[in-house]
Chain A
Amino acid sequence: MTTTDTGREYGTRTDPASGTRTGVAVALRDLNRRFGEVRALDGFSLDLAPGELVTLLGPSGCGKTTALRALAGLEDVDSGTVVVGGRDLRGVPVRQRDMGMVFQSYSLFPNLTARDNVAFGLRVRGQDKAARRRRADELLELVELAGRGDRYPHQLSGGQQQRVALARALAPEPQVLLLDEPLSALDAKVRVALREQIRAVQTRLGTTTLFVTHDQEEALSISDRVGVMRDGRLEQIASPAELYARPATAFVAEFVGTMNHLPGTTTADGVEVLGRRLPATTDRPAGAEVDVLLRPEALVVTPDPRGSGVVVATTFLGAVTRVHVRLGETQRSGARPGQGETQRSGARPGQGETQRSGARPGQGETTVLVDRPSSAVADLAPGAGVTVEPAPDAQPLVA
């Protein structure tokens, strides 16, 4: 690495040429790991640019934690390479990999104070007591825990413990920061505050960071890029905005954000859904019946007493209100007449909510979710007649 460190500002690595802070590049290449019959990693590859924060997102058992632990050296891989800062880490033990890690469960050493926990990495490196105390206090200040250095872990709240764990991981100035679901044990309010703090600290230090979570809201809110994993492979990796707007697969579309499934028909240059033709990419021939995926904000709901749609419920989400509309046969006829719907319930914004319109003949109703500014829903009370159509610039995904 051509960067140098340093100084006292929390060990920031600074590129002498540009003066900007930067970390190291990380490359995971074709990693494979089997646990019996289960392929935890199946040809998994991932690149992290210097200073980048990449999040691995996916359901339980998709291999995201295995990938992170393989990078840390805590998990052996059957094949593949891990290169950090141009150095091949095959055979390099965990303690020589120069990585800081924050675990899901509170992993502070219970017999050491917060300060001694933060200073632990410096202590085992032989740094003198005064220097490591100074550095530990700097890091505690960075995570806004100045003055709590003398407390033992059990005297700190869960959020405070994870902040100490973050400071401990950063104290030895690691090349790479690894965050293994560090927020999942915390309550919602603390989780939001801490994730913002993690992002702020990471941006300030420029440490290349791999974050693992199953919470899409967390992933989308703090990452430079998000990689969605499934069965040991990356389904898609992209910026949060791109991942949300242009999911590469139906799995990604369903896992990230809320998605309506609507029956549609392919055309020569796209798809027709809810009576409107939209450009879309599909390898199906024109005239084929397909499942069309549209975000709630990609639909427009218009009050219309004679419309075939009926508002069945509204959910206030803050700036927007989610309108639940049951579509009748007339409205749906623009798509596929005579098909029914199934609905996955229990969805909340930002939790992979899916509204599915299946293909069960004989049922004449579909419920779709449409987002509207909360300031413009006065005439959309439950029972109101409406029409629903895709927005002109909607970007549907054809499953």
Chain B
Amino acid sequence: MRQRELPAWVGVVPFAAYTLVFLGVPVVAVVLGAFVDPATGGVTMANVGIATSGVYLRGFGSSIGLSLVTALVPGVLGLVLALAVRASPSLRLKRAVATASGVFANFGGVPLAFLFVATLGSTGLVVELVKAVGVDLYGAGFSLYSFWGVAIVYGYFQIPLMVLVITPALDGLRPHWREAADNLGATPVQYWRHVGLPVLAPAVLGCMLLLFGSAFSAYATTSALTSGSLALTPIQIGSFLNGNVLSGQENVGRALGVGMIVVVAVLMALYALLQRRVSRWLR
């Protein structure tokens, strides 16, 4: 007997329900709460005003700056690494890098913070080693607990993440394009400038957006590393979740959340514009 087939959309129901409950409802709650005065229950712009000034504004600046730096630099480094591995004939190397990237891209929080404290902390192994040969990193102004220190730590998971997500796109580069360019007299630099990178650009942009999101929302590693000394928006939101909040400012955390949504939305819009431009040839 022929079984009755369920409509295709039924398969989406569990995920849609999950998303609605754990993404849709919280977003609505955060957005609404951001404009509510907890004392009176009335509508107010005070929360948004606080969230976009002073230490919170600096928090947004640092978060956006750190996310851009750790999307662009590890993005480029990850792309170069992925290209180098792809060019290698060694399958063993390819497998090893893929496995290692999978592990490192998901490594974070307290263990990662400890790893860097032990190596690049004020008395870390690497710091002491280079000091022994006459280079005083901390004396020169470096600090693991500063913006650039945290950026280095982020590279630990951002570079492998880039390798993971860009590798499938590299498989789309046909060997014949390189051979044709060679045959037509192009140097490797000319090939990459005129063909390789433009072809990869849409994928690279998408991957860098992912890296930005990964860095922008990172919390545990920075929290464990800086104990809040570096003003970053997720950590500031975390302090509201922990109850470290002044009376009457309970909803500022929600306003910060809205701010993060706006930042990502603006970035997505820019990404869409750029994507249209670099992928003209796909349409």
A244 at the interface (CB under 8 A from B): no
User: Among the listed B177, B190, B195, B281, which residue makes an inter-chain contact with A152, where contact means beta carbons less than 8 Å apart?
Assistant: B281
Chain A residues positioned under 8 Å from B281 (CB to CB): 110-113, 152, 154
A50 at the interface (CB under 8 A from B): no
Using an 8 Å CB-CB cutoff, how does the interface string of B169-203 with A read, 1 for contact, 0 for none?
Answer: 00000101101111111110010001100110000
Chain B residues positioned under 8 Å from A105 (CB to CB): 174, 176
B198 touches A95 (CB 8 A): no
Q: How far is the CA of A241 from the CA of B179 in the complex (A)?
A: 35
A294 at the interface (CB under 8 A from B): no
B198 touches A120 (CB 8 A): no
Which of the candidate stretches A96-104, A192-200, A302-310 sits at the interface with the other chain?
A: A96-104
A124 at the interface (CB under 8 A from B): yes
User: Among the listed B180, B194, B198, which residue makes an inter-chain contact with A107, where contact means beta carbons less than 8 Å apart?
Assistant: B180
* Cβ distance B158 to chain A, nearest Cβ, rounded Å: 27
Q: How far is the CA of A229 from the CA of B182 in the complex (A)?
A: 27
A316 at the interface (CB under 8 A from B): no
* Cβ distance B172 to chain A, nearest Cβ, rounded Å: 9
Most A Cβ at <10 Å: residue of B180, B182, B183? B183
Q: How far is the CA of A105 from the CA of B195 in the complex (A)?
A: 17
A107 touches B179 (CB 8 A): yes
A94 touches B199 (CB 8 A): no
Q: How far is the CA of A86 from the CA of B200 in the complex (A)?
A: 41
User: Among the listed A110, A120, A178, which residue makes an inter-chain contact with B181, where contact means beta carbons less than 8 Å apart?
Assistant: A120
User: Among the listed B180, B187, B194, which residue makes an inter-chain contact with A123, where contact means beta carbons less than 8 Å apart?
Assistant: B194
A101 touches B199 (CB 8 A): no
Most B Cβ at <10 Å: residue of A103, A121, A124, A125? A124
A107 touches B177 (CB 8 A): yes
A72 at the interface (CB under 8 A from B): yes
Q: How far is the CA of A168 from the CA of B179 in the complex (A)?
A: 13
Q: How far is the CA of A96 from the CA of B281 in the complex (A)?
A: 29
A251 at the interface (CB under 8 A from B): no
**A99-B199 contact given A107-B174, A107-B177, A123-B194, CB 8 Å threshold:** no
Q: How far is the CA of A103 from the CA of B177 in the complex (A)?
A: 10
Chain A residues positioned under 8 Å from B198 (CB to CB): 111
B187 touches A124 (CB 8 A): yes
Interface size class of A (residues with CB under 8 A): 20 to 34
* Cβ distance B104 to chain A, nearest Cβ, rounded Å: 32
A94 touches B180 (CB 8 A): no
A72 touches B194 (CB 8 A): no
From DSSP, what is the main secondary structure of chain B's interface residues? helix
**A121-B184 contact given A103-B176, A107-B179, A111-B281, CB 8 Å threshold:** yes
A124 touches B190 (CB 8 A): yes
User: Among the listed A74, A93, A172, which residue makes an inter-chain contact with B184, where contact means beta carbons less than 8 Å apart?
Assistant: A172
Q: How far is the CA of A94 from the CA of B182 in the complex (A)?
A: 6
Closest A residue to B202 by beta carbon equals: A111
B185 touches A172 (CB 8 A): yes
A120 touches B194 (CB 8 A): yes
B177 touches A109 (CB 8 A): yes
Chain B residues positioned under 8 Å from A154 (CB to CB): 281-282
Q: How many residues of B contact A (CB 8 A)?
A: 19
Chain A residues positioned under 8 Å from B182 (CB to CB): 74, 93-95
Closest B residue to A171 by beta carbon equals: B184
User: Among the listed A98, A110, A124, A165, which residue makes an inter-chain contact with B186, where contact means beta carbons less than 8 Å apart?
Assistant: A124
* Cβ distance B202 to chain A, nearest Cβ, rounded Å: 10
Closest B residue to A103 by beta carbon equals: B176
A95 touches B177 (CB 8 A): no
Chain B residues positioned under 8 Å from A101 (CB to CB): 179-180, 183
Chain A residues positioned under 8 Å from B187 (CB to CB): 95, 124
Closest B residue to A94 by beta carbon equals: B182
Chain B residues positioned under 8 Å from A98 (CB to CB): 185
Most B Cβ at <10 Å: residue of A94, A100, A105? A94
A112 touches B195 (CB 8 A): yes
Closest B residue to A100 by beta carbon equals: B183
* Cβ distance A359 to chain B, nearest Cβ, rounded Å: 48
* Cβ distance B42 to chain A, nearest Cβ, rounded Å: 55
The B-contacting residues of A in range 102-132, CB under 8 angstroms, are 103, 105, 107, 109-113, 120-121, 123-125
* Cβ distance A195 to chain B, nearest Cβ, rounded Å: 20
Closest B residue to A125 by beta carbon equals: B185
Q: How far is the CA of A121 from the CA of B185 in the complex (A)?
A: 6
A124 touches B179 (CB 8 A): no
B199 touches A103 (CB 8 A): no
* Cβ distance B87 to chain A, nearest Cβ, rounded Å: 16
The B-contacting residues of A in range 294-334, CB under 8 angstroms, are none
* Cβ distance B116 to chain A, nearest Cβ, rounded Å: 40
* Cβ distance A71 to chain B, nearest Cβ, rounded Å: 11
Using an 8 Å CB-CB cutoff, how does the interface string of B110-121 with A read, 1 for contact, 0 for none?
Answer: 000000000000
Chain B residues positioned under 8 Å from A111 (CB to CB): 195, 198-199, 281
* Cβ distance A125 to chain B, nearest Cβ, rounded Å: 6
Closest B residue to A96 by beta carbon equals: B185
Which residues of B are at the interface with A, using a C-beta cutoff of 8 A?
A: 174, 176-177, 179-187, 190, 194-195, 198-199, 281-282
The 9 closest A-B CB pairs, nearest first, are A121-B184, A107-B176, A94-B182, A124-B186, A111-B198, A111-B281, A101-B183, A107-B180, A152-B281
| A-B contacts, 30 listed (Cβ < 8 Å) | A72-B183, A94-B182, A94-B183, A95-B182, A95-B185, A95-B186, A99-B183, A100-B183, A100-B184, A101-B183, A103-B179, A105-B176, A107-B179, A109-B181, A110-B199, A110-B281, A111-B195, A111-B198, A112-B194, A112-B195, A113-B281, A120-B184, A120-B194, A121-B184, A121-B185, A124-B184, A124-B190, A124-B194, A168-B180, A169-B183
